[in-house]
Homo-oligomer: A and B are copies of this chain.
Amino acid sequence: MNTVKVRKTEELEAEQLGAHIGEIVRLHGSIYKIRKMSSFAFVLLRTKRQMVQCVYEPAYARFALEELKEEACVRFTAEVIREERSRSGYDLHLLEVEILSEPEEVSPVVINQKRVNTSIENLLDYRPITLRNEKERAVFQIQARICQAFREFLDGQHFTEIHTPKLVAAGAEGGANIFSLSYFGEQAYLAQSPQFYKQMMVGVFERVYEIAPVFRAEKHDTARHLNEYTSVDFEIGYIENFEDIMAMEQEMLRCTFARLQETCGAELSLLKAEVPVITEIPRIRFSEAKELVSCVYKRAFSEKLDFEPEEEKLLCEYVKKTTGSDFVFVTHYPSAKRPFYAMDSRENPAVTESFDLLFRGLEVTTGGQRIHNYREQMEKIESRGMHVEAFESYLMMHRCGMPPHGGLGLGLERFTARLLGFENVRNASLFPRDIHRLIP
C-alpha cells in the first residue's frame, strides 16, 4: 500500500525574499498589475499576503511580456538583486515564467487600482473578484488577526472554546426578529445568539467563548445592520458584579490592539487605520448619558428607553473630546429594554446590571450580569407573562446550581468597521447578508 507523497517545494514565501539577495528564487501568485515603462515593466504579483513588485526587462527575461495577463496564475523564476533605492532593499528580476492558469475574461470591475472605484452595490455584487483588491483583502486579513488575538487573550485567561447549535427550539433574545424553518416537521429557529448555551456552559467550564454566526431577521435597512453576523461571545462565572465583565473586555481590547500592531502593521497602515490606545475606558449610566447628550447638544430630551443612533454618535463625540477615549461603556440600561435573563439592580430594579460598549459612535458590544438564582429567574419570567415551558432545559441549570455570572456579545463586523473607519458595516463582511442581499 502506498503512502502520501509530501512534495518538497522550492518556492519561497514573499516574506522570505529579503534573505535571498543574490540568489535565484521561485515564487508563485496572481498577476495583479502590469505597468509598462519605456524600456521595462513592473509586474505586481499578488501572493498570500504581500504584493510583490517584480521587474521585467527584455535583457534578462527569457519570455515575452505579452505572455503575462493580469489575473493569470503564474510561477516565476527570478533573481533577487540588491537595490538600495527600493523600499524592500532589493529588486526582483524576472527570468522565467510558468503559466499555471489564465482568466477567461477580464474582470468586469477594475480591481487593481488603489481602491475599487465603484458603488457599494457593485463592490458586493462582484465580491469574489473585488476582494482581490489590495485594500479590500487587507480588511479581512485584519479581521482574521482580530479573531486570532481575541482567542489568544481568552485562551490565556483560561476560557474554553465551545460550539453551540444554531438550530434552536426557542429564541434567546425575544421579539419577532428571528428566522424560522421547518425541522423534520417541527418548528425550528436560527439562533439570535448563543446566550442560553454559553450560560449552561459556565456551569461546566466557568469561562467559555464562541466566535460564530448569529442570525437576526431584522427588517432594518441601515448601514449598521446585517441579518447574519459573526458574534464574539464570552461568558464568565464567579463574578463579583458586571464590572468584572467590562474589565475583562477592556483588557481583551487592549491586548488585541497591541497584537494587531504586531501582526498586521502593513495592512493597518495601508488602510490608514488609527488603532485606539486603551488605558481606562470611561463609563456612564444610561440615564445620565441621555441627559448629558440632551443638555450638551441642546437636543429635545427623548424619553425612549434606548439610544437613538444620533445620540450614540454625540455621546462618543463628547467622550472623545473630554477624555480622549474612542470607547465608552454605557451602563444600567432600563430593565424593560433588556431580556428576561438580565439581572436587575438591587438599588433600582427598573434598571439592569448591564452595559453596552460604544466605539466611535456605534454600539459594538452588549453585556451584563445574568440571573443565576432559580426563583429570581422564575419570578422575572412570570412577571413578564412568558411561558415557562419553552425554557425548561434552560432553567435546568438554575435549578441545579449556577455561580453568579455574566458575559457579552461583540459584533465582529461592526468592530472591524469602526476600527477601520467604515461608515457601512457591509464593508467589513466578506459576503454580507441584508434584506436585499443573499448573493453572492
> Would you call A246 an interface residue if the criterion is a C-beta within 8 Å of the partner chain's C-beta atoms?
yes
Task: Name the residue among A47, A107, A125, A213 with the largest chain B CB count within 10 angstroms.
Answer: A213
Point out the residues of chain B lying under 8 angstroms from A131, CB to CB: 200-201, 203-204
Q: Who on chain B is nearest to A209 by CB?
A: B144
Q: Check A400/B105 contact, CB under 8 A, given A137-B204, A228-B165.
A: yes
Point out the residues of chain B lying under 8 angstroms from A435, CB to CB: 184
* Contact flags A1-20 to B (C-beta < 8 A → 1, else 0): 11111110000010000000
Q: Who on chain B is nearest to A165 by CB?
A: B431
Point out the residues of chain B lying under 8 angstroms from A219, CB to CB: 184
A167 to B200, Cβ gap below 8 A? Answer: no
What's the least CB distance linking A324 to chain B, in Å?
Answer: 11
Number of copies: 2
A48 to B393, Cβ gap below 8 A? Answer: no
Distance A433 CA – B217 CA, assembled complex (angstroms): 22
Within 8 A of B (CB), among A341-375: 372-375
B246 to A4, Cβ gap below 8 A? Answer: yes
Q: Check A126/B396 contact, CB under 8 A, given A2-B282, A30-B401, A167-B227.
A: yes
* Contact flags A172-197 to B (C-beta < 8 A → 1, else 0): 00000001110110101010000011
Q: What class of interface size applies to chain A in its complex with B?
A: 35 or more
A183 to B188, Cβ gap below 8 A? Answer: no
Binds B, one of A58-66, A237-245, A296-304, A417-425: A237-245
Out of B188, B237, B282, which one reaches A1, CB within 8 Å? B282
Out of B3, B73, B155, B323, which one reaches A283, CB within 8 Å? B3
B438 to A168, Cβ gap below 8 A? Answer: yes
Out of B7, B128, B212, which one reaches A396, CB within 8 Å? B128
> Would you call A397 an interface residue if the criterion is a C-beta within 8 Å of the partner chain's C-beta atoms?
yes
Within 8 A of B (CB), among A144-178: 144, 147-148, 151, 155, 158, 160-169
A200 to B128, Cβ gap below 8 A? Answer: yes
A440 to B281, Cβ gap below 8 A? Answer: no
Within 8 A of B (CB), among A260-294: 280-284
Distance A181 CA – B7 CA, assembled complex (angstroms): 44
> Would you call A251 an interface residue if the criterion is a C-beta within 8 Å of the partner chain's C-beta atoms?
yes
Point out the residues of chain B lying under 8 angstroms from A205, CB to CB: 48-49, 137, 140-141
Point out the residues of chain B lying under 8 angstroms from A105, CB to CB: 399-400
Point out the residues of chain B lying under 8 angstroms from A404, CB to CB: 73, 100-101
Distance A267 CA – B280 CA, assembled complex (angstroms): 38
Q: Who on chain B is nearest to A31 by CB?
A: B401
> Would you call A215 an interface residue if the criterion is a C-beta within 8 Å of the partner chain's C-beta atoms?
yes
Out of B126, B183, B250, B438, which one reaches A167, CB within 8 Å? B438
What's the least CB distance linking A94 to chain B, in Å?
Answer: 18
17 contacts between A and B (CB under 8 A): A6-B250, A7-B247, A28-B238, A30-B401, A30-B403, A103-B399, A103-B401, A104-B374, A128-B394, A131-B201, A141-B160, A143-B163, A151-B151, A162-B430, A180-B181, A196-B440, A213-B213
Sort A-B residue pairs by CB-CB distance and give the 10 closest, nearest first.
Answer: A103-B401, A393-B440, A71-B401, A3-B280, A181-B181, A73-B403, A128-B200, A104-B374, A1-B282, A144-B161
